[in-house]
Amino acid sequence: MTFPDQKFLHASAFTKAYFDQLARAAATLDDTRMDLATEILSVAYENRKTVFSCGNGGSAAISNHLHCDHLKGTQTDTELRPRVISLSSNIETMTAIANDISYDDVFAYQLRSMADPGDILITISSSGNSENIVSAAQWAKNNGLMVISLTGFGGGRSAELADVNLHIASDNYGIIEDLHQSLMHILAQYVRMIHMPDDVIENRVF
């Protein structure tokens, strides 16, 4: 059954149903995978490895927001100096690659130019099947990068390629993207928190 599967006559009723679906979808996340994802990112930031992110459309916005919160947010009150790059943020580079080569290569091409073994790729794709996402994940796997994928719907091929798949079981793009945004925040805030002095946490705004 999809959501919504009927016309709602009042925005208030749709709002209530939407938030109910949001909570149901959030409950489908595998807790152990979140623990593993935060451990991977924490070690990467401690060792000055580069974390790349990518996505299309709304997922591109999450990728770009990830750059802000993971680069700036995680080093606040910590000794971390994260290296974070959103592959979705450079419209000039993306359109040059898309025009001269293929849109399917806009992320993998950038990885070939900048990534090293031991770096991390975070892919954000509701379907998990966008060709440029799958190509980037495949390149990363073939070249010594770990892959964390954020997916929805059936997970798609990027879920299968990932070392850690953070999957939201929903078939509504808005709900999936809302929760992917939340996961991005949780990963950043948790990594920051575990690197902060205990007596500082209670006096800080996250």
Cα-flanking dihedrals φ and ψ of residue 20, to 5°? -65, -45
Mean pLDDT, rounded, of the chain: 97
DSSP secondary structure code for residue 5 in this structure:
-
Give how many domains the chain has, as a whole number: 1
Residue 189 covered by a domain: yes
Q: List the domain range (segments joined by +) for residue 68.
A: 17-197
User: In this predicted model, what pLDDT tens digit does every residue of 154-190 receive, in sequence order?
Assistant: 999 999 999 999 999 999 999 999 999 999 999 999 9
Contact 107, 133 (CB under 8 A): yes
**Residues 81, 19: Cα–Cα separation, whole Å:** 36
**Residues 116, 201: Cα–Cα separation, whole Å:** 34
Residue 205 covered by a domain: no
CATH code at position 80: 3.40.50.10490
pLDDT at 177: 98
Residue 4 covered by a domain: no
Q: Buried b vs exposed e over 93-130: b needs ≥16 C-beta within 10 Å?
A: ebeebeeeeebbbbbbbbbeeebeeebbbbbbbbbbbb
**Residues 82, 71: Cα–Cα separation, whole Å:** 5
The Cα-based distances of 129 to 63, 134, 157 in angstroms read 17, 6, 6
Residue 12 covered by a domain: no
**Residues 201, 20: Cα–Cα separation, whole Å:** 31
For residue 148, give the 3-state DSSP assignment. Answer: strand
Hey, what are 7's tokens?
């016309």
pLDDT at 1: 64
Pairing of strands 50-55, 146-151: unpaired
Residue 121 covered by a domain: yes
User: In this predicted model, what pLDDT tens digit does every residue of 36-70 receive, in sequence order?
Assistant: 999 999 999 999 999 999 999 999 999 999 999 99
Residue 9 covered by a domain: no
**Residues 173, 152: Cα–Cα separation, whole Å:** 8
User: In this predicted model, what pLDDT tens digit does every residue of 92-140 receive, in sequence order?
Assistant: 999 999 999 999 999 999 999 999 999 999 999 999 999 999 999 999 9
pLDDT at 195: 97
Residue 137 covered by a domain: yes
Give the pTM.
0.96
Q: Which residues pair with 151 in a beta bridge?
A: 125, 167
User: Could you tell me the strand order of the sheet in which 83-86 lies?
Assistant: 83-86, 50-55, 120-125, 146-151, 164-167
Break the chain down into helix, strand, coil percent, rounded to 5: 55, 15, 35
Residue 48 covered by a domain: yes
